[in-house]
Structure 1
Amino acid sequence: MNKKTILDFFKKDSSSYSNNESTKVNVLQQHPECSTSVYSNEKSGSTNVKDVNIFQRNPECLELSVSTNEQPKKTAPHPDDPINALPSNRLEFQARITRGPFQPNFNIFPRTQCGNYSRSFHKKYYSEFKWLEYSPTTDSAFCFACRCFSSNNLNVGQKETAFTTEGFNTWKNISESLKKHQKSKSHFHSFTSLSNFLIKKPIDVILDETKEKALSKRQIERQGNRSVMHRHIDITILLAKTGKPFRGHKEREEDSNRGMFLELAYLFKKYDPTLKKHLEEGPQNATYMSNLIQNDLISSLHSVLKRQLVLSLKNKKISIMADETSDCGHHEQISVIVRFYDESLNKPVEYFVLNQLGLSWLDIIAVCFDGAMAGNINEASCIRHSILETVANQINLKLRTLKSISTTRWACRYEAVAAVKNNYTAIIIAIQTICDTTKQSEVRAKSRGLIFQLKTFDFIFALNILYPILLLIVKVNSCLQAEELNLLTSTNFIQFLKQKLYQLRSDTTFFNGIYCDTVKHCEENNVAIPKVRKRKISTKIDYSANNQYFADTKEEELRVSCSNVVLYDLLNGLNDRFNQETLNLILAVGNVLKLEPTIENLLCLESAFEVDCNDLNGEIQLLRNIPGVPLGSTTKTIFHWIEFLNQNNQKNIFLEFHKVIVLFSTIPVTSCSCERAFSKLTMVKLKLRSTMTQQRLDSLMFLFIEQQMTNNINYDDVIEEFKVMTPSKRRLEL
């Protein structure tokens, strides 16, 4: 076993370095070949996220999460998407025809390269061709009439598969092709059948009067079935929003606790005649109370909400925040938050996502990744804690709580070092007391090992040199986490911290004071002060790139191999996280908020946000003469500006200025928003629920976190999604 040296106290843990670094916010330039795949589950193991420097010209594609055991799934198509088969049930087919063609209204449709031009579908064709529908899944157009009534006997040998089954996507000649199809015989016959279906009665109803009564009765039953589904959806939403379990250990009728889903359903049955009639008089093989139906309802809710989120993100500039943790089943779970500017709310909003949403890196302006905080937390026993308190009272010491070393938060690192430094004597005595009184050989061995490590010159020196350095860092860190962060002041604090660390590295007084305090502390605690072993420089030819340097004293050795190395690594870390381009961007936005930008600030914003610096400068000159503008350089000033421009309806006048503040507000400061998902995760996936599938966990987490979206969900959309999942021959008419 290799002997530990002083450098071991400052070495970065290889596992934590790759996963658990501090929060990094990266502003990306657009790259046309990048696409993202967001997926949530990864078996035990770390997620390697490649960091991209700010304003890197050709950033590599970042993979937010890579799963080794499952393939990422695409967003489920809308139930009315033309690629889905038409309902075989008569009443459901009639309802589908009544809803009309599926015409999603996008501002920008996917583009296809046709020669030297990029062409796409356009929503203007909806108004010209009422029968036209579009499938976002396959990026193709269909004819609603021909797709629904292509089986007409008059269309034998004349059916066009491009507008019925395969889809039309030759956008180069789309106008001529649509006009040609509209004049075809097959379209004429299909459109006539569609008109007759909507206006006239079916032939079997005309020939048989009882048929109409039977259809009316079936329609009433169908509406009743949908009412029952509304109640099941209400129960599912209630349990999902509160994070409660659905299933029971035993779900037979004679069992006292059959799970919350069944218990709530039978509770509502007492007061709801519709649900009572369904459970008592309806088909017993279609009560829709089974665990499979529960999973289908959860998946249907998740699919509808996810589709709404995808529509909200269309053509929006977004930022992505991600963090990682392990659940009670020892699976790595990644929380991904999408942040974008919502024009209806006039502020940035954040949404929790897990599965692939089809996002493009062309729309992503920043990413913010925090370290994966995996690991076990070992709690100290009450007996050992009482021993520590007893020792503290005996030596008249104010006890401070010991902290675990955090791999992501500088404040926690400072508190951990400060707690050990201030409680050093009490810790030594407490561990020695435990070692003398315990009867467990394993505890005794660990206690002796801890005492041996604590009573070393290297450990005490590490405490003394880290304490003042971390104190400087935590002060700047608290400033950067202030609620009203001043952009200009924050950049100054970062520069001051860098200058101070450079000064400490060249200041011999700082190191001499640390070394003297360490020697004094060692003498007070009977810790041996090591001496440097004299070594001779080898006379042989050395082909190594490293220089042979041997210090004459311990003080000189620590200055060269420890103090300078620590300060050098800290400065490199600060330069990586707060490089000059990042600081220039923050400084530029701060000066723009004060309406005092320089030429360098305008050029920086032009490069970062693709604005015209001349137009931006002209808009700022006009804003200076408008009374009552919200001047300032804090983060709240950004939202005051957004509110000011929207209230006076001036955002269309000051386009470049509005674009700068909106895009900057979209960039996340930290990935703390991801941590709210972790607290929800501990409530959803408990030890008693650790065997649930990843798909079910994804759906429940989305419903649990995005409760506002869940409250506003359309129940009819959920039922239509449920119908797609379940074959019509195995379910009720819905």
Structure 2
Amino acid sequence: MDIRSFFNKPAQKSVEDFDIYSTAADTDAAIEAANTSVPGTCSTSTATVSAETSAQPIAASGCVVNDLGEKATGPKQPLLSSFPKHQIGDINRAFSLFYYHKFPWIEYSVSLDSVFCFCCRHFSSNTARCTDELFTKVGARNWKKLSEKLTKHASSQVHLSSMEMWENYKHTATSGSVAAQLSHSHQGTVQKNREYMCKSVDIIKLLAKLGLPFRGHREDADVETRGNYLSLCDLFSKYDPDFKSMQSKYFNCTSRDFQNEIIALCAELVRDEIAKKVHETGFLAVIADEAKSSKTEQLSVCIRYTVGLQIKERFICFVDCSNSRDAAGIVSGIKEGLQSCGLKDIPIIAQSYDGASVMSGHLSGVQQRIREEFPFAVYVHCMVHKLNLVLVESCTVNRDIKTSLNVIDKLYSMFAEPSNHFRFLMMQKTLALKPKEIVQPSETRWACKYRCVYAVKSQYSAIIRCLKEMEEEGEKWSVEASGLYHHMTRLHFITSIIILEEVLRVVHVTHKRLQGASTTMADAASAVKSLRTHLQHCREESSWEATWMQVKRFCEDFSGICVDSSPQTGGKRKRTSRTPAGLSQYLVPTTLGQRDENETHWESESQTFKRQLYLPVLDTMLAELDRRFSTDAMALSVACDAVFSCDKNGIGPLLSTYASFKIHPQLVTAEMDLLKCTIPSPITLEKLTNEVRKDQYPNFYRLLQLALTLPVSSAASERSFSVMRRIRNWLRSAMAQDRFSDLSILHIESDLTANLSAEKIVDIYANRKKRRILLH
């Protein structure tokens, strides 16, 4: 058959257009489907063949043969039950399925009845020379010598190169191109590095939040205890192989420079979060105090603001003010702290310090210098300090009270010695008492007076027995023990500690109320008023009788110990009254006008202690409360109470003080009238917080924020000093100021530290400058 007549016949359907028949039962149907003619003919113009199909074989008629495989599909190997036969020599020969298995790279064209090399057709270079182009464009049909030609072609360099390119193509299709593979490898490295960094950041956050030291005395690899940071890294490495592999590299994020940078980043994010909330409100109050720390004077700067109508007191930083501890230096330190947080230009509406002249001076003190820049920044003398001054003054008004506190101070010194302390603990255990330590009295620690008096009263029996044993042994402390024993067994000491315990207990509760971060000026005024009322009731006769009954009961409980518990009167002893001899045989139901001698002495002692000890303490406290918490000093507190109770007649002081804050006086009173009709009585701050909205009551909302922002005490700064002594102890005294301040804010504001995102910290760390570790 002429080849041209063969191609001018209607094209047959390729087996690729039908399902592949793999069973003998379907072979007839496959042959019939393949022999079915299809309409249409190929174009005879070779100019229409695009460059994209130039790799395809072209029939003699000029049409492109399209029943061969593409790059994506692989070689086409139709499975026919019988292939077309042609006479070659004396024998009719045809293509065999055997060649598919021996040469898997070949493909068979049904339309051309020819065999092609798939890899050479698609992957041979344009400059490469294929043998007679037999397996790329023409096609092999000599079935007699096909095996020989295929074997020869398989060993050719062009075919081998094409096969290699085909294998690379298949691999690329699975895993991507080289650029893609490099991109994936880069992304995998970045992801691995970021996960390692996040874990390191979390370790730093944990140690900072808990206020624990990072570094150890030695951090060599052969040291068992390498510090908290490296020890936690070693613990992670034990259970995380990826972390261990990163930890063994040269750059492994364990240097102190890395720690300092991450600590600074965390502190910066915490300060930014605080500043963001303050900027939303628009004003703040400053709280500051100073204390000594490791040969330096540290100024603690805190602020008070509101988030909505919720009060927040936050620590900002520590500022080293050792070089300038005067008013100008402290003001400079406060401004430096506010500037570090981005709050330098935020209006200060109030300031709270202790009563030292350098802070409270009305001519050139800190509060006056701040008011020169912010005229509406009212000064609030820390109410907890003022209450403590009231307490100190009342404890020095009576000689017996001062003597009792001195005795307690000596008891603390004695039982602080190790052997005496052990004896004291064993005595408490022997008497089945709950262990309690004796606290040293102090005029600056607010709660210590109550704690020390309560400890001595509750552990009285153990203390007395220890002193008695030490007195009899004649040891080093025998003289001191004898003197303390003599004082503690006197009625004056017993009466003093019972009176002090009752009074200090109430003052202690008031102290706790004033120290709260959410305490308002109205709460402070209410607490002081309640304390004053209670002390007034204590002056009544019934209160004293109850106190004296406690004294008598205490003496009866320890009658075997208290040598001076029985009352004695001064002067000449009276003759003992006796019953007449004539009445000796009669039952006498009355005392015949005579009073029991012991009872007479107790009543005499009762009035003496009431007049000389009890009433002077109460009167001094009441007088000091009236002087330090006067009506003028509590004017803002009364105004705040009026705001919280929606009393429009009492908000005048606040409106006049903060007139520049654009609170319309008439509109705010109208809003308060509406609220009184909306909120059921009694109106409380909690109800106002739930009801008042900024968009509905803008003027009253602003007034509420002002009243809530006014500080009550400087307790926030005092609390930061406890953190200061934990973080910068004598083992960490060489810590730099920046690291010390950053660690302090991360520890104090631990709730904000816990919310920091390690991913965000790593992003900021990566973008600050070029890093040696791939992070993006």
Higher relative contact order (CA closer than 8 Å, sequence separation 6+): 1
Greater Rg by CA: 2
TM-score of the aligned structures, taking structure 1 as reference length: 0.50
TM-score of the aligned structures, taking structure 2 as reference length: 0.47
